[in-house]
Amino acid sequence: MRPLARSIGIGLLACALIATGVRAQGWQHIGKVEHVEKFREGLQDGMELTAGAAKVRITQVYNGVIRVRVAPNGRFPKDFSWAIAETASNYISGPVQINDEQTKVTMTAGTVIVVVTKTPLLITFSDAAGNVLLADEPSLPIAWDGPRVHVWKKMPADENYYGLGDKAGPMNRRNRAFTNWNTDEFGWQESSDPLYKTIPFFVGLRNGVAYGVFLDNTYRSSFDFGKEARDYFSFGAEGGELNYYFIAGPEPKKVVEQYTAITGRVSLPPLWTLGYQQCRYSYYPESRAREIVKTLRDKKIPADTIYLDIDYQQGYAPFTINREYFPTFEKMIADFRAQGIHTILITDLHIKKDPDHGYVPYDSGIKNDVFVKNPDGSVFVGKVWPEDSVFPDFTLTRVRDWWGGLYKNFVAMGAGGFWNDMNEPSVFLRADKTMPLDTVHRLDDGTTIDHRAAHNIFGMENARATYEGLLKLQAGERPFVLTRAAYTGAQRYAATWTGDNSSTWNHLKMSTPMLMSMGISGMPLVGDDIGGFAGSPTPDLLTRWFEVGALNPIYRDHTAKGTADQEPWVHGPEHEAIRRKYIELRYRLLPYLYTAIEEASRTGIPLMRPIFLEYPQASEFYGDDRDF
């Protein structure tokens, strides 16, 4: 074969292998539709399709939102979601019309038209005018391989993709692939994936018209926006149900509003949480914490919050106090309150394994059988900051209630809020950084799931337990909880931040796109560590970060142990003056910021907004900009 012919032949063979590659991996694709019937599930109207042994349910959740569920063996699991908000008032829908023809089935649900081609089963979502918004890739119908589930969709050449929450790099996700598996990723970089949160939701945008897709699946999931092939994108999970929501829009704002209507919206935080927050790992002993607060006040630098990291605890055991370091802990908190400073305490979710020493969280936890177990029924023990540690089984309501009650003493002392860190959950001395996948988590109905299903919701349920406990303990005060790990719906319980970033100009550059991505993914109360957590910023970098961060929803200066001091007054009076100026600007903007957060609590529209959210037709400002 001559060189040109050989290259053409090799190219054609490569294209053929790419086109059939997913089939070669063992996927079993759904077949043709054999039976159609109208279906009603709770408040949802739609249809159920039978294709061989498989069944597919397509229902209208409410106006503009369509749900697709697939049961490869024809048996749907119990309909349960950690993500969906329990607010039936959101479900407002009109009549559904179903037209069963020889080669297709058409379901009309308000302004959304769902057309199902029968041979094979392929789903297309269109608007009322017939414009296709989202369609299955014809060569790759819905598929499964053992526990794995997957779906492929056509990818127009001019369509961009945004969302997925906690992801680094350019805000536009096109031409990249992502994994969702909550991960403790110290010093993450632009290419790091996965990170701390799992938010399997994205917005597709083309020619100013938007739609959204939310895959409600807590297992390790994947989203590929054109890395595998140029003509289609795909998403799926390593287990669980293929259960996704199509959100019609057509404006990006409408997509975010509809998505947060079903997954919940941020609770309005206390006003003081929007002020400047001072933190580091760690302010100790007590004299150092007092010195920080005194310096803030002496220098007339506005601030509302100081954080205490794990060194305030005895032996790093949550819910304890190191009296050697903090001899007048209660008085210190009261003194800070008198100066207008609220104290936020870290409470990691691991409990020190410390039997028969009067450590109430462990002793009461063992007595009440609240900890995660191994397959043989023994309590799982992992190494974290206190060395041997056990982990509350947050998938149980009674365990969340028990956890919430542990805050009683701290609330009585006047602590203002709480910081749930390390809740991916992070476990030391393991290559996978977390619990073994076969650890057992119990559910309220008496059934169990393993860690494959529980991992991504563990941090959210930890934050939920804290939030719901504070609602009971704080007598009318709005709780403030900061969580590192999350799943869709965590916005109902907590604010968040981007984890252990680094003190580099590149991390400063990445911060705004990341925060905007979190906002359009349903979590508007977000921030990053001002100045970077890992490493020490140069004076100019720290000053610039104070300037940019003044417009973040959460404005917290934080850094790691062993780094240089990072408070506003370091690096001399010139830098201090600039940093104070922007902190003061933050406080002048507080009425605006609080109004915008109040709007987010009603509509889901975030405070930090990419241009396309306000001006979806102005593609010249965002269409080819891979940074935003």
Among 329, 346, 326, 271, smallest CA distance to 304 is for 271
> Tokens at residue 351, please?
């409990």
- State the Cα–Cα distance between residues 583 and 3, nearest whole angstrom: 66
- What type of residue is 257? E
- What type of residue is 111? T
The vertex-351 CA angle with 346 and 352, nearest 5°, equals 110
Contact between residue 590 and residue 275 where contact means Cβ atoms under 8 Å apart: yes
Q: What values do phi and psi take at 109, rounded to 5?
A: -130, 90
To the nearest 10°, report the CA torsion of 343, 344, 346, 347.
Answer: 100
421 is catalytic: yes
Contact between residue 201 and residue 488 where contact means Cβ atoms under 8 Å apart: yes
500 is catalytic: yes
Strands 486-487 and 197-198: parallel
Which residue out of 159, 185, 216, 421 is catalytically annotated? 421
> Tokens at residue 597, please?
């957060």
- State the Cα–Cα distance between residues 60 and 79, nearest whole angstrom: 15
- State the Cα–Cα distance between residues 483 and 503, nearest whole angstrom: 21
Three-state DSSP string of 215-238: ECCCCCEEEECCCCCCCEEEEEEC
Strands 342-346 and 417-420: parallel
Contact between residue 236 and residue 148 where contact means Cβ atoms under 8 Å apart: yes
Rg (CA), the chain: 25
Cis upstream peptide for 537 (omega within 30°): no
SS3 category, 53: coil
Which residue out of 424, 461, 529, 567 is catalytically annotated? 424
251 is catalytic: no
- State the Cα–Cα distance between residues 63 and 46, nearest whole angstrom: 13
Contact between residue 69 and residue 474 where contact means Cβ atoms under 8 Å apart: no
> Tokens at residue 603, please?
């509509």
Which residue out of 393, 500, 528, 529 is catalytically annotated? 500
SS3 category, 424: coil
- State the Cα–Cα distance between residues 112 and 343, nearest whole angstrom: 49
SS3 category, 29: strand
CA distances in angstroms from 154 to 28, 59, 133, 229, listed in the order given: 19, 22, 10, 10
Q: What values do phi and psi take at 564, rounded to 5?
A: -70, 160
Distance between terminal CA atoms of the chain? 47
Measured in whole angstroms, the distance separating CA 328 from the mean position of its chain's CA atoms is: 37
Among 268, 162, 188, 172, smallest CA distance to 529 is for 188
- DSSP one-letter string for 523-575: --SEE-EET-SBS---HHHHHHHHHHHTTSSSEEE---TTSPP-STTTT-HHH
- What type of residue is 4? L
Contact between residue 201 and residue 521 where contact means Cβ atoms under 8 Å apart: yes
Measured in whole angstroms, the distance separating CA 78 from the mean position of its chain's CA atoms is: 24
The residues that are catalytic are 421, 424, 500
